């Protein structure tokens, strides 16, 4: 058993550098369990955000569609008046403007505007044009889309949850494989007691604080406390948090005992021997014997 296993606390909380370092002495099963719990929490927040911010707009927009309509031959077939705002809130807006005349207000952070030959997606950073796919036929009426969305909405949410968990677990595995090399280099230079497999576990645990930070950022977006631009900035910041833990946490690991003891000079006697010699020979210590 290594010194790391003997001195570090049980590995359960990857919130502090010492807690992250503790995963060096934990089993792979323990690390994967903690990662899975955090991934499930993130998935729950993503599903909740979709239900609160976006899906109500989609349901209302489908109810506002005409009885007939479709997207076929790379063109929207629309028989009602245009431009028209189908539905929207502060997060998402859905509208139809066949000529993209710009007559509709764009108060939502993300505005999707269906035109005659393409879709324009507006955000605070500008807009992106998406052409309708060739060879596709997509219903664009409430008669077909209403039942379809009612049947598939639970499945879409379940897919979002599963995709979040699976995507995070896979991403953390790949990043830990990449980041374990810097961790091993840091511990080697600092004479810390760590092998490559333990470095991989520390790297995997170091990603958890950033993941929790991003989960809180998505939750804040669902509460309308941050907009999409700030959310994107916070998403970038969560990588920095992971890097900070990656470089700091290895410093909380114990040093290799053999190297820690090798720092003493073998040619200089320890203080205990110096004191004992001074008591036996006061003149050697610079003291005058009593007359």
pLDDT of amino acid 281:
59
Q: What are phi and psi of 176, to 5 degrees?
A: -65, -35
In angstroms, rounded to a whole number, what is the distance separating the alpha carbons of residues 242 and 68? Answer: 51
pLDDT of residue 6: 46
Dist. CA 73–CA 128, nearest whole Å: 21
Tell me the mean pLDDT in the region 123-152.
90
* pLDDT band at 278; cut points 50, 70, 90: low
172-217: pLDDT as tens digits:
999 999 999 998 888 888 777 788 898 999 999 999 999 999 999 9
Q: What is the structure's pLDDT at 4?
A: 43
Question: What is the DSSP annotation of 165-187?
Answer: HHHHHHHHHHHHHHHHHHHHHHH
Question: With contact defined as beta carbons under 8 Å apart, do 167 and 210 qualify?
Answer: no
Distance between first and last Cα of the chain: 59
Residue 274 has pLDDT above 70, yes or no: no
Pairing assessment for the beta strands 110-114 and 70-72 based on DSSP bridges: unpaired
pLDDT in tens, 50-64: 999 999 999 999 999
Read off the pTM.
0.80
* Cα-based angle 277, 279, 283 (whole degrees, multiple of 5): 80
**What pLDDT shows up at residue 9?**
61
Give me the mean pLDDT over the 147-174 stretch: 96
pLDDT of residue 263: 46
What digits encode the pLDDT tens for the residues 207-253? 999 999 999 999 999 999 999 999 999 999 999 999 999 999 988 88
pLDDT digits (tens, 9 = 90+) for 31-43: 999 999 999 999 9
Q: Are 187 and 194 in contact (CB under 8 A)?
A: yes
* More confident call, 102 vs 252: 252
pLDDT band, very low/low/confident/very high, at 262 (cuts 50, 70, 90): very low
Residue 81 burial by Cβ neighbours in a 10 Å radius (0-12, 13-18, 19+): exposed
Please tell me the predicted confidence (pLDDT) of residue 145.
Answer: 93
């Amino acid at each position: 058993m290594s010194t790391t296993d003997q001195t570090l606390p049980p590995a359960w909380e990857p919130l502090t550098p010492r807690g992250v370092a503790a995963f060096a002495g934990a089993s792979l099963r323990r690390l994967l369990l903690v990662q899975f719990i955090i991934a499930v929490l993130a998935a729950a927040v993503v599903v909740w955000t979709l239900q609160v911010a976006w899906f109500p707009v989609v349901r209302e927009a489908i109810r506002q569609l005409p009885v007939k309509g479709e997207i076929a031959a790379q063109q929207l077939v629309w028989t009602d008046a245009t431009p028209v705002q189908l539905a929207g809130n502060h997060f998402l807006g859905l509208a139809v403007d066949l000529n993209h005349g710009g007559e509709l207000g764009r108060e939502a952070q993300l505005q999707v505007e269906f035109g005659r030959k393409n879709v324009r997606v507006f955000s605070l950073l500008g807009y992106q044009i998406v052409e309708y796919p060739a060879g596709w036929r997509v219903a664009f009426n409430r008669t077909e889309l209403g039942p379809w969305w009612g049947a598939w909405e639970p499945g879409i949410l379940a897919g979002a949850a599963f995709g979040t968990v699976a995507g995070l677990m896979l991403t953390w595995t790949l990043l830990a494989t990449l980041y374990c090399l810097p961790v091993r280099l840091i511990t080697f230079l600092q004479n810390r007691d760590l092998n490559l497999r333990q470095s991989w576990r520390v790297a995997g645990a170091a990603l958890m604080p950033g993941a929790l930070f991003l989960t809180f950022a998505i939750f804040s977006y669902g509460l309308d406390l941050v907009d999409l631009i700030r959310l994107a900035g916070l998403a970038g910041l969560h990588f920095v948090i992971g890097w900070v833990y990656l470089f700091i946490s290895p410093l909380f690991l114990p040093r290799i005992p053999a190297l820690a003891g090798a720092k003493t000079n073998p040619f200089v006697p320890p203080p205990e021997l110096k004191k004992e010699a001074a008591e036996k020979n006061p003149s050697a210590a610079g003291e005058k014997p009593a007359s």
